[in-house]
Amino acid sequence: MAKGKKTTIKDIKLLKNDIVLINDKEYVLLEKAENVLDAKTMKISSNGNRILRFDDANKKVRIDVKRDINIVKYSISNLDRAKKFKKTHDKNFLKDTDRKEVLAQTISYTKAKEIIEKYSNKSSDTYDKNINVSTFYLSEEIK
């Protein structure tokens, strides 16, 4: 769906507390909202967010396409390879001596960004001082 395009909602069902089925495709609610099933249209905003719109023009709810995503931590032992990996995230730079650790799983890229932000935010308890030097936190979609 292109940015700015509105889609009329023909069928909407609440599957779980934060997952909705809209026109036979699953989406994740990024915000708490009442009466989500009353949404009339779905629009992609200029910054790429999907937004549910209602009869009340002031009421909006952000959603994201449901995906299975791993949050992965790569620890690279060689700083030269780490610099190359930082530019492209090309897994060909990884060797057997490097570590890959799955830290979490989530169902949307927005939630994945929030998890990764916890490791890169200096005021966070989980801040990693080696981030983007020898340690990299990435989201990888499970296929």
Range of the domain at 23: 6-65
The structure's pTM equals 0.79
pLDDT at residue 17 in the model: 79
Q: For residues 21 and 79, state if they share a domain.
A: no
Q: For residues 40 and 82, state if they share a domain.
A: no
CB 41 within 8 A of CB 3: no
CB 50 within 8 A of CB 44: yes
Q: For residues 56 and 75, state if they share a domain.
A: no
pLDDT at residue 138 in the model: 96
Structure token pair of residue 1: 């769906």
Q: For residues 134 and 81, state if they share a domain.
A: yes
Q: Around Cβ 73, how many Cβ atoms within 10 Å?
A: 18
Q: For residues 46 and 107, state if they share a domain.
A: no
Residue finishing a domain among 65, 80, 101: 65
Q: Around Cβ 101, how many Cβ atoms within 10 Å?
A: 10
pLDDT at residue 82 in the model: 96
What single string gives the DSSP state of each residue in 34-77? S-GGG--EEEE-TTS-EEEE-SSTT-EEEEEE---EEEEEEE-S
pLDDT at residue 1 in the model: 56
Q: Which amino acid is at 105?
A: Q
Domain-embedded: residue 1: no
How confident is the prediction along the chain (143 residues), in pLDDT tens digits per residue? 566 678 999 999 999 878 999 999 999 999 988 889 999 999 988 877 899 999 998 999 999 999 999 999 999 999 999 999 999 999 999 999 999 999 999 999 989 999 999 999 999 999 999 999 999 999 999 98
19-23 contacts: CB < 8 A, separation 24 or more? 19/66, 19/107, 20/63, 22/63
Pick the closest to residue 8 from 19, 23, 20 (CA basis): 23
